[in-house]
Chain A
Amino acid sequence: MAKHNTPLLDELESGPWPSFVSDIKQEADVRAKNEKGIDFQIPSEACDDLLGLLELSYKDGTTHWKHGGIVGVFGYGGGIIGRYSDKPVEFPACASFHTVRVSQPGAKYYTTEFLRQLMDLWQLRGSGLTNMHGSTGDIVLLGTTTPQLEEIFYTLTHDMDQDLGGSGSNLRTPADCIGQSRCEYACYDTQELCYFLTMMYQDELHRPAFPYKFKFKFDGCPNGCVASMARSDLSFIGTWKDQIGVDQAEVALYVDGTNPSNAGAHKGRDWGAFDIQAEVVDLCPTDCMKYENGELKINDKECTRCMHCINVMPKALKIGKQRGISMLAGAKAPIVDGAQMGSLIVPFLPIDQTMNKQLADFDSEEDWMEYLEEKYAAFVEVIEAVWDYWMEEGKNRERLGELMIRQGLQKLLEKIGMEPQAVHVDHPRTNPYIFWKEDEVPGGWNRDINEYRKHHAR
């Protein structure tokens, strides 16, 4: 029997989409019956009271969670977010309901063994409710009390070899797309680079020392499945410099309808017979393709690697072999100065295709990390130059993108030692308000007015 009546929430139990209300009720029921005999370390009625509190919000149209509350684990400035309700008397079992962010594994692959261990811990020491996953990527454990925090951290680190994620003004937990693990479009090993940088910058992730939050995201190709261009201060997008591989025999199988267009993504409607001219050649944004006499020709020099043709004909067209990464900087959501998209700062950094040793090829993770430091040295150099600049010039709570707007893209390019190129802009400036550097103008700016007046009367 439910502890609280929740007539409004109950209406969210019907309909086909998985009902979070049904699921929370399920956990409430498991806790009430407690068939496993768990000695719950936070109130067993936590899920019931959470439903009661949420029902109240549905009734009165406003939240009942208080602002913040500084809690954490010793020595870390992030990973835990304090949360208290403003109805502790009516709903005591969720009065204190802190969040624990747990650093998610690459591409969110799991073994059931790991997840079961984590859920056992969370049913014992928390509400049993989670987010799989939080918006930035972490495993989010929702709802525990202050005395449990160190205990949870101890079990995570000692028994599960697992750390917390980021929160506050630090490096947030980096996130990657599925990458080469199961995608033929990936131009680099997103899991490897994401893991390497996550491990390299553990201090920056746990101990806030930045002006504000900072996010890395890793997309294996310009399709951008982790939205790095919109959601990360530094975005790493895989790309290539040479030719798209073309298998003309497979192209023919698309043309005759044997292969489904776009890997079958359009099977739900009859769009008529596949038309390579209309669906591929004419949609190419740079008009760099031709289909003549049964042969597809690509003028790769003009290609901007938008992925459309490859997406439409994945069996026939392949990403190039000379691969690397385009880095973009400054993306963020609107708070405070408006939304920003990432801006291209490093057009192409190659990845050495011969350096493909895996962790298993080394005696220790330290040796492997050393190998990766060499492999990704050029990326580390850019990252640290960006951070040096932002930590020097950024105001309190100013994201990198806002600093870039305040001081100009050329300032960031200068700080990372990148020569400005036409690819850095959509078009050159439309105003001539150019800020020259003093050393660019012969003779500098200090002039003698008396000397000037010799030739120009007052």
Chain B
Amino acid sequence: MAFISSGYDPAKPMEGRITDIGPKHYDQFYPEVIKKNKGKWTHHEILEPGILVHVAENGDEVFTVRCGGARIMSATHIQEICDIADKYCGGNLRFTTRNNIEFMTDTKDQMLALKADLNQRKFPGGSYKFPIGGTGAGISNIVHTQGWIHCHTPATDASGTVKATMDTVFSDFQDMRLPAKLKISMACCLNMCGAVHCSDIAILGYHRKPPILDHEYLDKVCEVPLAVASCPTAAIKPSKVELPNGETVKSVAVKNERCMYCGNCYTMCPSMPLSDAEGDGIVLMAGGKVSNRISAPKFSKVVVAFLPNETPRWPTMTNTIGKMIEEYAKGARKYERFGDWTDRIGWERFFDVCELDFTHHLIDDFRDAAYQSWRQTTQFKF
């Protein structure tokens, strides 16, 4: 390959440099019917799973077809999305905050043609390219992080756990039989670059071994005080270590029993890696939400302390998630979110009906807030 210049001159980096221009203005990207009716929509209806109509004051309608997408998306796939949007949607489309693709048209006929077209597009392995769904009282797409495909701190893979889970709950992506919407999120380590702490069900990658210390290099690549300060449980202290060659170097020591494997030290110091095939795996959380509807937003709670990384399809994890969803579907009332259901029946009942073990790992012992979660009443269920 021959280097192709964009026009940039490395000898004069500031010449004609353009900076601080931000994203393109949204007006340039609105479909006509959206531009015309912005702020004038009166109501909407979900016609069937994945298909919405929004109606404006003047009677204008916009039909939206929502499709799931893997967050990892190739240029070729995006070009195919563009072909579809050119054919049916006047060259416009949008993505949702949950990695869904939304195609919009202003006639019902065009929507029906679009729907038929999307349904027949599949990858050679048999999966849908554009499964329609993700609306109403069903399961929308999973928001997630990078995982093994592109990150240095994960305790599991993100795309694979998500693919396996979405295959398992696929019928609920294309249906609206649940008591309320159910959002699943995935983060491959505690950093949670995709925050999962307020999801109905959360899949979280978790390490279980303290960092390995690369003493020979630690002081050369890390600031020891920063590594020490990074630890939320004060498990790290400065130390001097004698290497096998007799040389004494500055390093750190870790009090293993105080470590909860958050990896914050590794973020500050590359000589303290945590990942480990046996140590790493999955934590499942449940019962969080961000909407203010009926009850206040709430955090997800840990319901399974650890599941091993069963590549490539994590069957124990997907079965556990499937079971929780079935029990929720059976037990919750119309409009009741997952966490409102568990609050009503009590967590002791939740562990019963979902056939989950309650172990010491699930009792909070992190800082003052832990106390708020202990049972301080004689009211409990046998």
Do A and B bind?
yes
| The one of A27, A106, A135 that contacts B145, using a Cβ cutoff of 8 Å | A135
Closest 3 CB pairs of A and B: A13-B125, A265-B136, A106-B26
Is B135 touching A265 in the complex (CB atoms < 8 A)? Answer: yes
| The one of B19, B30, B312 that contacts A58, using a Cβ cutoff of 8 Å | B312
**Which residues of B (78-114) have their CB < 8 Å from a CB of A?**
78-79, 81-83, 85-86, 91-97, 99, 101, 104
B131: CB under 8 A from chain A? yes
A421: CB under 8 A from chain B? no
Segment with Cβ contacts to B, from A123-131, A287-295, A381-389: A123-131
Q: A103-B22, A119-B78 are in contact. Are A17 and B123 (CB under 8 A)?
A: no
A302: CB under 8 A from chain B? no
Q: A113-B91, A268-B137 are in contact. Are A27 and B176 (CB under 8 A)?
A: no
A425: CB under 8 A from chain B? no
Segment with Cβ contacts to B, from A60-68, A411-419, A441-449: A60-68
A142 to B71, CA, bound (A): 12
B181: CB under 8 A from chain A? yes
A273 to B224, CA, bound (A): 66
A74: CB under 8 A from chain B? yes
Is B38 touching A359 in the complex (CB atoms < 8 A)? Answer: no
Rounded to whole Å, the gap between the CB of B141 and the closest CB of chain A is 9
| The one of A15, A265, A315 that contacts B46, using a Cβ cutoff of 8 Å | A265
Rounded to whole Å, the gap between the CB of A33 and the closest CB of chain B is 11
Centre residue among B4, B81, B145, B153 by max chain A CB count within 10 A: B4
**Which residues of A (97-144) have their CB < 8 Å from a CB of B?**
97, 99, 103-116, 119, 122-124, 128-133, 135-137, 142-143
Contacts of A110 in B (CB 8 A): 29, 92-95
Contacts of A229 in B (CB 8 A): 198, 290, 292, 297
**Which residues of A (37-62) have their CB < 8 Å from a CB of B?**
39-41, 44, 47, 50, 54, 57-62
Segment with Cβ contacts to B, from A158-166, A372-380, A450-458: A158-166
A337 to B230, CA, bound (A): 11
| The one of B97, B166, B294 that contacts A226, using a Cβ cutoff of 8 Å | B97
Is A285 touching B167 in the complex (CB atoms < 8 A)? Answer: no
Q: A105-B29, A335-B192 are in contact. Are A17 and B82 (CB under 8 A)?
A: no
Rounded to whole Å, the gap between the CB of B217 and the closest CB of chain A is 12
Contacts of B68 in A (CB 8 A): 17-18
Is A58 touching B195 in the complex (CB atoms < 8 A)? Answer: no
A379 to B70, CA, bound (A): 36
| The one of A137, A223, A268 that contacts B291, using a Cβ cutoff of 8 Å | A223
Residues of chain B having any CB pair with chain A under 8 Å: 1-8, 10, 13-14, 16-31, 34, 38-39, 41-49, 54, 62, 64, 68-79, 81-83, 85-86, 91-97, 99, 101, 104, 123-131, 135-138, 143-146, 148-154, 157, 159-160, 163-164, 166-167, 170, 173, 175-178, 181, 187, 190-198, 226, 229-230, 232, 262, 264, 266, 270, 273, 275-278, 280, 290-295, 297-299, 309, 311-313, 334-335, 366-367, 369
Is A17 touching B335 in the complex (CB atoms < 8 A)? Answer: no
A63 to B158, CA, bound (A): 11
A32: CB under 8 A from chain B? no
Q: A108-B95, A265-B181, A315-B43 are in contact. Are A22 and B293 (CB under 8 A)?
A: no
Q: A39-B4, A266-B334 are in contact. Are A63 and B163 (CB under 8 A)?
A: no
Is B294 touching A206 in the complex (CB atoms < 8 A)? Answer: no
Mind listing 11 A-B residue pairs with CB under 8 Å?
Answer: A8-B312, A20-B71, A44-B1, A58-B160, A74-B17, A103-B23, A109-B34, A130-B73, A157-B19, A202-B22, A338-B369
Contacts of B125 in A (CB 8 A): 10, 13-14, 19, 21-22
Given contacts A181-B30, A182-B54, A266-B176, 17 further A-B contacts (CB under 8 A): A21-B163, A24-B72, A39-B2, A63-B148, A99-B150, A119-B82, A132-B95, A133-B71, A154-B8, A173-B23, A180-B38, A263-B43, A263-B136, A265-B135, A314-B43, A332-B195, A337-B367
